[in-house]
Structure 1
Amino acid sequence: MTEYAIQAENVVKKFGDFTAINNITLNVPKGSIYGFLGPNGCGKSTTIRVLTGLLSPSEGNVDVLGLEIPKQSELLRLKIGYMTQKFSLYDDLTVQENLEFIGQIFGMETKALKARIEEQLSTYGLDQLRKQRVGGMSGGQKQRLSLAAATMHKPELLFLDEPTSAVDPENRRDFWEQLFDLSDQGTTILVTTHYMDEAERCHRLAIMEAGEIRADGEPEELMAQMGVNIVEVKADNLRELKEKVIRREEVRSAAQLGIRLRILIHQHIEQPIEWLTQTFPELDGCEMNIARPSLEDVFVSVTGEGRQ
């Protein structure tokens, strides 16, 4: 039987007349990496703040690590780590001093704290930087320090709010390897992102838009169930072609990728290439291929109703 680190049911959060999250239900299995994918302003950060007890829900029930939230939020804070999008440690302290400070906040005893600092410095490649003042570090180094600080007290659950938004692709990849190591050790991780490649790395994924969850499942499962066929067309005048195809109700969306047009066609069209050729005679003789769905295709299919 699956054990859950987070169970939220019909959660609503309103600010006055504005509904930031609307009727969200989610179940996050223990030990998994669960992603929230969505554009800025869709409610990802608000959801994290509700789940951590920083905000009280307007409606609904939230259970995190067996604790009723927000009623038992103080107990929860000893069991979770939280890494924000903006770097939140102290620039005028050294790497080691920052980790010491975080450990002391969580009441770690001197001997255990010293051992844990050495472990974290080694794990996150910060040993040679222990005496470095944080203000002079690179974005990737600060990111590693933030993760080391967020996991100083060995939290059962780690919340990461767009943690890689300010680092380069190589550091992003290394960061995700560290997340998989934590997951293998039993840590549950909830991470928000707007990067498609990061979302594909998650064990499970929720796609959010306008405060609502539009899709929820394993990335491969979502791609298999999206209900469209995808055709890539190599032809002349792609901009003109796009304007024509998106007027058809059979077409969910179309996007130009270099010299190709990627067209999402509703699945009730069983022979999409033949349909395109018959519907648009100018495509006769053009190169057309069925393409594998991507997570970006899923995102486009379940969000932005009416958007072209």
Structure 2
Amino acid sequence: MTATTVLEGFSFLEAPRWRQSRIWFADFYQYQVFSAREDGSDLRVEATVPQQPSGLGWLPDGRLLIVSMRDRRILRREPDGELVTHAELNGHATGHLNDMVVDGRGRAYVGNFGFDLMGAAPLETAALHRVDPDGTVTEVATDLWFPNGSVLTNDGALLVGETFGNRVTAFDVTGDGALVNRRIWAEFGPVPTERAVGKALPQLEIAPDGCCLDAEGALWIADGAHARLVRVTEGGKITDEVRPGTPVFACALGGSDGKTLFACAAPDFDEHARSAAREARLLAIRVPVPGA
């Protein structure tokens, strides 16, 4: 499996999503949400988010939700294109908001950094929050080591990648949106003993960043620490590995047949370096199993 470049010239890409025959993604430091066709043509600016966009999702009626990282809000794009505040998490999250997954009822599960990553603060755990369609915010899980890429499975579970936890954690989602039966879905190594980010990173076997689910229930994970994409089954077995020659930080399955693995690539995740350059790319890799 080899990677080809679909689009380039961005700062730092995150949260790829396949929807309406287009690949959608956020660019942190150009402060915009984009979409394009499978081959990268017809690039569109879908929204401008001055406080840094990240996770994307859609309400059942088709309105777009966007994580606004720095002011810890979730924005909603109305049918006329106006962005309004859907939910305010300033009094809840302990770091920049990050990735998000939205279920079929319009409930959004959103993680946050938990500490000042770019300011070189020591690692701290973070909570996961649920935002209901009316904007109500509820804490649904605690003590997660950087809750990052998340997916909802067909059997009613939520999988959350803990970037600094060396693992993917699973929860069952109840009818009212609560998370129960917390368990380790895949463990790649122990939680790092170091709390300085630079010292913790070498202790990570896999640093789960953005992820996506395929039709066989396996998880494609962008390993943010080792410049690779890995396909993992429950229990932690790696069945496939793609090394595109660059660090990758998020992925999504899509394309006309669901077998294109889109990946967000950049030289690193350093805010100062990425905001000053336009070296990020959107990659595509053909894989055998389509998206879920």
TM-score normalised to structure 2 length: 0.29
Q: Which has the higher contact order (CA 8 A, sep 6+)?
A: 1
TM-score normalised to structure 1 length: 0.28
